[in-house]
């Protein structure tokens, strides 16, 4: 039985929103996401004091500059955590960073892109791994670009303040070294240390639109992002990624993602770890 609803939400409304989401973000919303979309968009209706979903659709069309980003923020899935899929960070520390320190010894430059970075736990985990594995990192030019379509998660990442529970899985040594514990009003919160924040640039970027970056990246993390895209969209995206990567760049994708039947431009090195084929 369907739950009683405050607002009428028909197939037509859902299909309409689904189409808009797919056109703007590449995200293909399945039928299973119907309740989630209803719940999240209902909050927008209430906030805007609108009476029904037809009015909300018109509102987006008339105020697309402002409302489109709220609409997109409402339908993205931002699940993430520090050191999620820990084996990627171990590979980074044990294999990839030593390789890059040798390969890039002349330029002393390393560029990393965390595409679909959500609230920042992924780029901060990368920053921690880089700092822990490169003893003379201050003599290197190391930058992490962290991008996401969702403007809310980008500001959260930039702030670098998290609930303490978010870091309970980390060793006490890591917590002590890389986080400040909040007190008084900030009790129960932690803040990442400035030496991590300084390495990262957070930027709103839709992977479906043009990318402004000029330089090439040595490492790309695009994890648990393309799982929401259909295959043709994934194919185009991975083709575009190759143009943004150095010759031997490495790429990490999410645990339930694969390049099988999507791209032949990358060689599989380990579980969800790839190297760009020259
Ligand atoms: C599930 S999170 C993954 C976060 C992190 N990479 C991880 O694996 O923990 C997926 C992120 O992709 C972002 N995203 C979805 N479509 C996007 C698009 N077209 N362009 C950029 N980011 C997008 C979402 O906003 C969301 O924050």
pLDDT band at 66 (very low <50, low <70, confident <90, very high): confident
Tokens 């906030």 locate to 47
Q: Are 70 and 90 found together in one domain?
A: no
Which of 27, 76, 202, 211 to probe ligand 1 with, by most ligand atoms within 8 A of CB? 76
- Kindly state whether residue 204 falls inside one of the protein's structural domains: yes
**Domain extent at residue 55:** 11-75
Q: Of these residues, 131, 148, 218, 223, which one is catalytic?
A: 148
Q: Are 94 and 170 found together in one domain?
A: yes
Q: Are 125 and 231 found together in one domain?
A: yes
User: Per residue in 14-23, pLDDT tens?
Assistant: 999 999 999 9
- Kindly state whether residue 6 falls inside one of the protein's structural domains: no
- Residues 216, 218, 221, 226, Cα dihedral to 10°: 50
Q: Are 155 and 32 found together in one domain?
A: no
pLDDT value at residue 5: 82
User: Per residue in 116-145, pLDDT tens?
Assistant: 999 999 999 999 999 999 999 999 999 999
pLDDT value at residue 3: 60
C-alpha 23 – ligand 1 centre gap (Å)? 16
| Nearest ligand 1 atom, CA 119 | 27
CATH number at residue 49: 1.10.155.10
| Nearest ligand 1 atom, CA 24 | 19
Q: Are 120 and 28 found together in one domain?
A: no
Q: Are 114 and 195 found together in one domain?
A: yes
- Kindly state whether residue 30 falls inside one of the protein's structural domains: yes
Average pLDDT for the chain: 96
C-alpha 118 – ligand 1 centre gap (Å)? 6
CATH number at residue 232: 3.40.50.150
Residues near ligand 1 with C-beta < 6 Å? 25-27, 76-80, 84, 116-118, 122, 148-150, 153, 206-208, 223-225, 228, 254
Last residue of a domain, one of 48, 75, 102: 75
Q: Are 154 and 227 found together in one domain?
A: yes
| Nearest ligand 1 atom, CA 73 | 25
Per the annotation, the verdict on 143 as an active-site residue is no
CA nearest 109: which of 215, 20, 12?
215
Q: Of these residues, 34, 40, 191, 276, which one is catalytic?
A: 40
- Kindly state whether residue 61 falls inside one of the protein's structural domains: yes
Which residue has the least CA distance to atom 3 on ligand 1? 224
- Kindly state whether residue 80 falls inside one of the protein's structural domains: no
Q: Are 123 and 209 found together in one domain?
A: yes
Which residue has the least CA distance to atom 13 on ligand 1? 116
- Kindly state whether residue 5 falls inside one of the protein's structural domains: no
Q: Are 70 and 126 found together in one domain?
A: no
Last residue of a domain, one of 29, 54, 75: 75
Number of structural domains the chain divides into:
2
Q: Are 49 and 145 found together in one domain?
A: no
User: Per residue in 204-259, pLDDT tens?
Assistant: 999 999 999 999 999 999 999 999 999 999 999 999 999 999 999 999 999 999 99
C-alpha 225 – ligand 1 centre gap (Å)? 5
Query: What percentage of the chain reaches a pLDDT higher than 90?
Result: 96
Q: Are 30 and 145 found together in one domain?
A: no
- Kindly state whether residue 4 falls inside one of the protein's structural domains: no
Per the annotation, the verdict on 148 as an active-site residue is yes
C-alpha 272 – ligand 1 centre gap (Å)? 17
- Kindly state whether residue 3 falls inside one of the protein's structural domains: no
Which of 148, 202, 204, 233 to probe ligand 1 with, by most ligand atoms within 8 A of CB? 148
Q: Are 185 and 138 found together in one domain?
A: yes
């Amino acid at each position: 039985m369907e739950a009683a609803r405050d607002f009428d939400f028909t197939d037509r409304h859902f299909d309409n929103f689904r189409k808009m989401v797919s056109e703007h973000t590449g995200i293909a919303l399945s039928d299973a996401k119907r309740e989630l979309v209803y719940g999240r968009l209902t909050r927008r209706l209430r906030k805007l004091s609108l009476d029904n979903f037809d009015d909300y659709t018109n509102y987006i069309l008339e105020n697309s500059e402002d409302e489109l980003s709220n609409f997109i923020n409402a339908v993205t899935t931002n699940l993430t955590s520090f050191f999620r899929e820990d084996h990627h960070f171990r590979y980074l520390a044990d294999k990839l960073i030593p390789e890059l320190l040798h390969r890039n010894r002349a330029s002393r430059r390393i560029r990393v892109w965390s595409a679909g970075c959500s609230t920042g736990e992924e780029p901060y985990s990368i920053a921690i791994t880089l700092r822990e594995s490169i003893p003379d990192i201050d003599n290197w030019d190391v930058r992490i670009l962290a991008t996401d379509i969702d403007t809310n998660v980008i500001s959260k990442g930039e702030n670098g303040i998290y609930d303490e529970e978010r870091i309970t899985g980390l060793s006490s040594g890591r917590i002590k070294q890389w986080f400040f514990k909040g007190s008084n009003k900030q009790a129960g919160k932690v803040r990442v240390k400035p030496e991590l924040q300084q390495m990262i640039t957070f930027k709103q970027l839709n992977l479906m639109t043009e990318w402004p970056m000029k330089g090439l990246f040595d490492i790309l993390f695009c994890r648990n992002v393309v799982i929401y895209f259909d295959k043709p969209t994934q194919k185009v995206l991975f083709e575009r990624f190759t143009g943004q990567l150095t010759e031997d760049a490495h790429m990490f994708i999410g645990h339930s993602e694969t390049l099988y039947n999507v791209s032949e431009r990358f060689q599989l090195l380990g579980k969800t770890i790839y190297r760009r084929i020259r």
